[in-house]
């Protein structure tokens, strides 16, 4: 699949459903997850384990900004103060996030992670592997590490449903540390959460810029 086709297909699959969910008050759906807010939080709270000191944070693929809100609270529970920023591929979804989070409206940008140039550097950047086509995963990590992070910054990758079958928006069967290894990187740390039946539900791994 051509790179441009991948982004067009991504927008076609996600944009309308995200916006419709957000309009009806389904914040979890507007952030890309079915099953309600409690389930959404349970799958994502583990990301806070990667935040171990105060700093600025860019959420790449921020959708309606729900993670920007909740992760700040989770980090605060760990005595870590985070200043959130967001980047979203869809201009329409980004605008929805700005209207919903007016205090952070100027911190939410629209752009493609492979071409967008950040106006500042960040202490933390979170992203998902499905933001780009599979063959561009390594290039995305290098680009974000080199152009988005401060010296000693941390790049955090999350994999949801690592045991799922591969598809357009899954890297099925891969935990985050394994995914990084397959792309030529060795994780500096990781954290995971399992479903009630023991199935790996969310896997998070991070790389420290050295």
| C-beta atoms surrounding 171 within 10 Å | 23
Say how many domains are in the chain. Answer: 1
Higher pLDDT, 82 or 4: 82
**Which phi and psi angles does 131 have, rounded to 5°?**
-65, -25
Q: Kindly state the average pLDDT of the residues 187-197.
A: 92
User: What φ, ψ does residue 25 adopt, rounded to 5°?
Assistant: 85, 10
In a domain, 171, yes or no: no
Report if residue 17 sits inside a domain: yes
Q: Is residue 181 part of a domain?
A: no
| Residue 166 located in a structural domain | no
Domain that residue 97 falls in = 3-155
Does 97 reside within a domain? yes
Residue 70 in domain = yes
Q: What is the pLDDT of residues 59-93, one digit of tens each?
A: 999 999 999 999 999 999 999 999 999 999 999 99
Domain harbouring 147, CATH code: 3.40.50.150
pLDDT tens, residue by residue, 120-148: 999 999 999 988 988 999 999 999 999 99
Residue 151 lies in a domain: yes
Is 104 a domain residue? yes
């Amino acid at each position: 699949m051509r790179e441009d086709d991948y982004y067009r297909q991504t927008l076609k699959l996600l944009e309308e459903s995200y916006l419709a969910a957000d309009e009806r008050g389904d914040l979890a759906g507007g952030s890309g997850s079915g099953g309600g807010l409690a389930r959404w939080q349970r799958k994502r709270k583990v990301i806070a384990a990667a935040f171990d000191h105060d700093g600025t944070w860019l959420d790449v693929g921020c959708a309606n900004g729900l993670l920007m809100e909740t992760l700040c609270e989770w980090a605060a529970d760990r005595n870590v103060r985070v200043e959130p920023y967001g980047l979203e591929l869809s201009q329409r979804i980004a605008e929805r996030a700005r209207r919903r989070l007016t205090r952070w409206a100027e911190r939410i940008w629209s752009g493609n992670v492979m071409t967008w140039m950040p106006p500042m550097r960040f202490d933390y950047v979170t992203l998902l592997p499905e933001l780009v086509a599979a063959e561009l995963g390594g290039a995305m990590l290098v680009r974000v590490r080199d152009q988005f992070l401060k010296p000693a910054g941390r790049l955090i990758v999350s994999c949801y449903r690592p045991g799922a079958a591969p598809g357009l928006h899954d890297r099925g069967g891969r935990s985050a540390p394994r995914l990084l290894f397959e792309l030529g990187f060795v994780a500096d740390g990781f954290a995971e959460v399992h479903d009630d039946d023991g199935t790996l539900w969310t896997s998070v791994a991070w790389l420290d810029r050295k």
